[in-house]
Amino acid sequence: MAEVTMPRLSDSMEDGTIIRWLRSDGETIQRGDELVEVETDKATIAYEAPSGGVLRIVAREGETVAVGDPIASVLAEGEATPVPAAVANGHEAPARLIASPIARRIARERGIELGQVDGSGPGGRIVKADVMAAAAAPAAPVAAPPTATEPVPSPQPATPAVASSPSPAPSGSAKGDVTIVEPTRMQQVVARRMAEAKTTVPEFAVQVEIDMEEALALRTRLKALTPAGQRPPSINDMVVKASALALRDHPHANGAFVDGAFHRYSRVNVGVAVAAPGALVVPTVLDADRKSLGEIARETLALATKVRDGTIAPADIEGGTFTVSNLGMFGTTSFTAVINAPQAAILAVGAVSARAAVHDGVVCARQMMTATLTCDHRILYGADAAALLARIRELLENPLAMAL
């Protein structure tokens, strides 16, 4: 018998949730068959069977299991199905409780026995709202029997009702009905990491205005040269390339502050923030400084498609050394992004729009873009950050330099 345990599908993964079994209990499977969909802290991933045989499922759909704990077993041909000890002793095996991590934490903090809580989630999963409801439920009153010295009251005639104006019905919450939506594992991790970044990283931001006239002109020329069916490099692809080249020129910014020490990386891997339904995922363009604009364009398109389709893999989101976040497509002119710790910095990019600017000594309308660099002050000082951002601006204002 081979035991199938919850796999570690990312460096930061501590546990995973069984979303859907892709094979049935008792089914004969082959090594490499897609076995189960697991939701990790970064994505939902199909995990393949490590060996062939007869599948015996241990963890049910909706259950959260720690990395390394069993989720199933695979029996060799003719091997007997293992019998739980409780069944062997003549008792029915207790069902495993399915509860979300936040529900388990709240129950532990408030001394609530999860076995006494009815789950309202998928497959009877206990969610935060169930535990909160159990905590708020009053204990059933116990009526004390009358003592020998206490007379039992005699029934009294009913008192005639006094006419009065009807009381208004309770209006309930001023906010109306409240729907509690439990965050996904990915949302929980994003929330935790953003809170950690804001409370543990001494950050500061620097900002510049970038003249994008030449970059837009280059994109127009590249669009005319792009083969049919392919996407020409976008402005964001140019920002990724410019950031990668600037990091190569300023290697101290291509690093992190980890366990009290500076980590400087030899590879320049730029993460690109992508909005997914109800989540934010940052896939990585590896070795972005060595790739052409065309290669970066094709790779970012493929990665964004995987994020939105829910097919992103752990390898696609690991290894980032710097992050670019772009909200320009929503019309946002400027914003300050939260550092993707432990990285040294993140670049927030706004929309390209016509603004009054001085060009060749004349005030005129130019296509401008605001870029804001948020930095970890433990790694980068003001002058370092300003130099890095100035180099990014220089490359975007002279985009042909990115081809050298």
Q: Which domains are delineated in the chain?
A: 2-88 (2.40.50.100), 101-135 (4.10.320.10), 194-403 (3.30.559.10)
3-state secondary structure at position 144: coil
Q: Which residue has the higher pLDDT, 236 or 78?
A: 236
Region of poorest pLDDT, from 12-21, 46-55, 282-291, 381-390: 12-21
pTM of the model: 0.67
| Whether the predicted pLDDT of 154 surpasses 60 | no
Q: Which residue has the higher pLDDT, 39 or 392?
A: 392
Q: How many residues does the chain have?
A: 404
Tell me what the mean pLDDT of segment 367-389 comes to: 96
| Whether the predicted pLDDT of 179 surpasses 50 | yes
Tell me what the mean pLDDT of segment 310-318 comes to: 83
| Whether the predicted pLDDT of 84 surpasses 50 | no
Region of poorest pLDDT, from 152-166, 239-253, 284-298, 373-387: 152-166
Tell me what the mean pLDDT of segment 41-61 comes to: 85
Q: Calculate the average pLDDT of the chain.
A: 83
What pLDDT band is residue 300 in, cutting at 50, 70 and 90? very high
Tell me what the mean pLDDT of segment 55-64 comes to: 88
Q: Are 34 and 70 in contact (CB under 8 A)?
A: no
- What is the structure's pLDDT at 394? 97
In SS3 terms, 224-284 reads as HHCCCCCCCCCHHHHHHHHHHHHHHHCHHHCEEEECCEEEECCCCCEEECEEECCEEECCE
Residue 264's contacts (CB-CB under 8 Å, 6 or more residues apart) are: 251, 252, 254, 255
Q: Which residue has the higher pLDDT, 184 or 340?
A: 340
Tell me what the mean pLDDT of segment 133-145 comes to: 64
- What is the structure's pLDDT at 47? 86
Tell me what the mean pLDDT of segment 261-286 comes to: 90
The counts of H helices and E strands in the chain are 8, 19
What pLDDT band is residue 329 in, cutting at 50, 70 and 90? very high
Q: Which residue has the higher pLDDT, 235 or 109?
A: 235
| Whether the predicted pLDDT of 122 surpasses 60 | no
Percent of the chain with pLDDT over 90: 46
Q: Is residue 332 classed exposed, middle or buried when 0-12, 13-18 and 19+ CB atoms within 10 A define those classes?
A: middle
For 39, phi then psi, to 5°, come to -90, 120
Region of poorest pLDDT, from 91-100, 112-121, 288-297, 392-401: 91-100
Mind telling me the catalytic residues?
Answer: 377
What pLDDT band is residue 162 in, cutting at 50, 70 and 90? very low
Alpha carbons within 13 angstroms on the beta-carbon side of residue 276 total: 24
Residues 330, 320: Cα–Cα separation, whole Å:
25
What pLDDT band is residue 362 in, cutting at 50, 70 and 90? very high
What pLDDT band is residue 167 in, cutting at 50, 70 and 90? very low
Tell me what the mean pLDDT of segment 269-291 comes to: 90
Q: Are 97 and 117 in contact (CB under 8 A)?
A: no
| Whether the predicted pLDDT of 91 surpasses 70 | no
- What is the structure's pLDDT at 130? 84
Hey, what amino acid is at 171?
S
Transcribe 30-66 into DSSP letters: -TT-EEEEEE-SS-EEEEEPSS-EEEEE-SPTT-EEE
- What is the structure's pLDDT at 188? 76
For 26, phi then psi, to 5°, come to 90, -5
Region of poorest pLDDT, from 32-46, 149-163, 235-249: 149-163
| Whether the predicted pLDDT of 180 surpasses 80 | yes
